[in-house]
Copies of this chain bind each other. A is one copy, B any other.
Amino acid sequence: MSESGLLERLIEALRVLPGVGHKSAQRMALHLLERQRERGRHLAAMMAEALDKIGNCQQCRNLTEHAVCSICRSAARDATSICVVESPADLSALEVATGYRGRYFVLHGRLSPMDGLGPQELGLNLLAERLAAPGLQEVIIATNPTVEGEATAHYLTQMARKHDLKVSRLAHGVPLGGELEYIDRGTLAHAFGQRVRA
């Protein structure tokens, strides 16, 4: 296929997808061209439309093609609680795993001055407005348990403490189905120290 300029350019363009190297990109391009032209055209159209129309929700910054996302619009969701997450993928994981019925706030990152990510970039002025709004009672901080995630959680806790709110964070401990033998020492020490009544 070194002969097809257009095919080579498609293969190169496919490498923007995460985890896709030259070999997988070639397999994808040939698969679409040889077997799935119609669905391939549909994918190209969906991709162009999504990249064009999907932006951030004005209230929670989650990805949506509307001004305000469906969770923020929904009357069924509890407006007295906000859960703060780093990314839309984290929000999705919580939606699938938990029965949480409150609302969210998506940072699109974590505090990381080295990468130029400060309070401004994470939309913390918008979050501050929501924390000050009447009716809010609870803030759940669900950043990742990394160094930067922890620093961000600390910063958010300080912000939330200025208001009369219940502030909580995800529990650390032994993952379900994990074996003690293989769990890192930090997690194990934490789980031991924070042991709960049986």
Contacts and interface: CB of A to CB of B under 8 A. Distances in A.
Nearest to A69: B3
Interface of A (DSSP majority class): helix
A53 to B, nearest CB: 6
Interface stretch (A40-48, A116-124, A152-160, A163-171): A40-48
A34 B2 contact: no
Contacts of A5: 65
A15 to B, nearest CB: 9
A76 interface: no
A188 interface: no
B88 A1 contact: yes
* Nearest 7 CB-CB pairings of A with B: A3-B70, A44-B47, A44-B48, A16-B39, A13-B46, A10-B50, A6-B65
19 contacts: A1-B62, A2-B92, A3-B70, A4-B62, A6-B54, A7-B63, A13-B39, A13-B47, A16-B36, A29-B50, A30-B63, A32-B51, A33-B50, A33-B51, A34-B87, A41-B51, A43-B47, A44-B45, A44-B47
Interface of A: 1-7, 9-10, 13-14, 16-19, 24, 26-34, 36-37, 39-54, 62-65, 69-71, 87-89, 91-92, 95, 108
